[in-house]
Amino acid sequence: MEFSLPRGLRDISPEDSESFEIIRAAFTETCGIFDYKLMEPSSLELLETMEAKSGPGIRDEIYFFKDKSGRELGLRFDLTVGITRYVASKRELSPPVRIGSFASVWRYDEPQYGKYRWFYQWDVELFGHSNPEADAEVIEFSSRLFQKLGTRPRISIGSRKILEAYIRNNLRITEEAKILDAMRAVDKLAKKNFEQIVAEYPSSFSREQFRKLVDFVKLAGDSSKVATALWENGLDAGTLLPIVDSLHSRGIVDVELNLSIVRGIDYYTDMVFEAYDRDNPRLGALCGGGRYDSLPSVYGRSDLAATGVAGGVERAMLAVNLSKSSPERIFVAAAGSDAGLRLKATSIAAELRAEGISAQSDIAGRSLRKILEAQSAAGAKAVVIVGERELATNSVKVKWMSTGEEELVPTSELRTRFKNIDSLVFSQGKEN
């Protein structure tokens, strides 16, 4: 019988886990620099809570089920909803409230390159006042994080408020549901062709209306040029220009305005943005976010504005060249089958680990020759050989695997001898 995982799910290998930890460490460090406090929201939410803002259509995009008591629950599809619910319940917190999280989420999307149904996200949310400086801060956070990982993303900023104004005033679409459908249609332009999208929303907008909308969202590039084009369409880019100015003052200059950026989740209210890797555009957005002032009010906090960003960890792994050097491992082996020698080898390996040195001893009863062959192939730094003659003088033999050289080292000096060896070293391979 063959056992396999459902399509879109996968196991995370030891190699990928190491890359995960590199990204987690960079994210945690960036949170510390920006003073974002870490937490993790519940992996399960009441389905009615998830539908409160996203609507009943969210059922098509998530995993949900009934528990043994009959309650309808859903696996979290992002971290924003849970973090917002948590912060809204903590009235003792004084704004601004900065929260970060690194955890897995589930979505019933169609699997594709760099995208899975179970995946990890990093996420930061800033609650407090609604202003351009807050929006610029989360964008700067994203840029600094990817700089730390070894790449410089291009930041594309849009506005759902400006897009909604165009749909209302220029296309004469005024029903709320149809406006949202038009925005969702724009968000699908990178995934589907014009005819497919028009066929998907036959009662929300006409072919001609969508043609005009597609032409409008082609507005992208330098902020001043886009602002002029918006003004010519009777629209105001005033909410976006202060964000761009703030980013420039922070040293974030690879920024464009792009009206096709709308994000697919309906709780966004104005500014939205995405970051793309110039070297690998096929990946799609490395991260995305925006302002969502209406979501806290769902949880009874109309006094709380919010903005945030989240990125897929798997996509970050594909975007940056994470090279991991092999651990500088020490192996301790007995020179023979004597039980006392094997016990001593086990004891020495444990003492080295207690000092933070990566060390292991044999558990398979192999001969010393087999151990040396295996450790040479595995790239061990050294093999400590525990023999009766050496132990009689309270010493062990150390064989350095790269050169084959051997030396006698007193057991009392062994830990000091290896103390300068880093047990685990990571390096980042892509230059800034």
- Provide the CATH number for the domain around residue 160: 3.30.930.10
Predicted pLDDT of residue 416:
85
- Dihedral of alpha carbons 53, 58, 61, 65, sign: positive
More confident residue, 429 or 420: 420
CA distances from 292 to 126, 145, 159, 288, 341 (A): 10, 22, 12, 13, 65
Segment 387-401 shows an average pLDDT of 92
Predicted pLDDT of residue 260:
92
Q: Are residues 299 and 192 part of one domain?
A: yes
Q: Does residue 415 have a pLDDT over 70?
A: yes
Q: Are residues 354 and 297 part of one domain?
A: no
The domain boundary residue, chosen from 282, 304, 322: 322
Q: Are residues 338 and 307 part of one domain?
A: no
The domain boundary residue, chosen from 322, 338, 364: 322
Q: How many residues does the chain have?
A: 432
Q: Are residues 268 and 126 part of one domain?
A: yes
Q: Are residues 94 and 24 part of one domain?
A: yes
Q: How far apart are CA 310 and CA 338, in angstroms?
A: 57
Q: Is residue 8 part of a domain?
A: no
Predicted pLDDT of residue 420:
61
Q: Are residues 424 and 283 part of one domain?
A: no
- Mind listing the pLDDT tens digit for each residue in 172-221? 999 999 999 999 999 889 888 999 999 999 999 999 999 999 999 999 99
Task: Identify the burial level of 413 via C-beta atoms within 10 angstroms of its C-beta, where 0-12 means exposed, 13-18 middle and 19 or more buried.
Answer: exposed
Predicted pLDDT of residue 53:
63
- Mind listing the pLDDT tens digit for each residue in 314-334? 888 888 766 454 457 899 999
CATH number at residue 346: 3.40.50.800
Percent of the chain topping pLDDT 90: 61
Q: Are residues 350 and 317 part of one domain?
A: no
Q: Is residue 194 part of a domain?
A: yes
The identity of residue 174, as a single letter, is T
Percent of the chain topping pLDDT 70: 93
Predicted pLDDT of residue 426:
32
Predicted pLDDT of residue 321:
65
Q: Is residue 4 part of a domain?
A: no
Task: Tell me the residue range of the domain where 119 lies.
Answer: 14-322
Predicted pLDDT of residue 384:
95
Identify the DSSP state of 192: S
Q: Are residues 340 and 277 part of one domain?
A: no
- Mind listing the pLDDT tens digit for each residue in 247-295? 999 999 999 999 999 887 778 889 999 999 887 777 788 999 999 998 8
Residue 98 pLDDT level (bands cut at 50, 70, 90): very high
Residue 421 pLDDT level (bands cut at 50, 70, 90): low
For the CA atoms of 48, 51, 56, 60, the dihedral, rounded to the nearest 10 degrees, stands at: -100
Q: What is the 3-state secondary structure (H, E, C) of 329-387?
A: CEEEEECCCCHHHHHHHHHHHHHHHHCCCCEEECCCCCCHHHHHHHHHHHCCCEEEEEC
Predicted pLDDT of residue 111:
65
Predicted pLDDT of residue 51:
80
Q: Are residues 295 and 229 part of one domain?
A: yes
Tally of domains in the chain: 2
Q: Is residue 9 part of a domain?
A: no
Residue 1 pLDDT level (bands cut at 50, 70, 90): low
Q: Are residues 353 and 302 part of one domain?
A: no
Q: Are residues 346 and 334 part of one domain?
A: yes
Q: Is residue 2 part of a domain?
A: no
Q: Are residues 384 and 241 part of one domain?
A: no
Q: Is residue 46 part of a domain?
A: yes
Q: Is residue 1 part of a domain?
A: no
Q: Does residue 423 have a pLDDT over 80?
A: no
Q: Is residue 186 part of a domain?
A: yes
Residue 112 pLDDT level (bands cut at 50, 70, 90): low
Segment 65-92 shows an average pLDDT of 93
The domain boundary residue, chosen from 322, 357, 376: 322
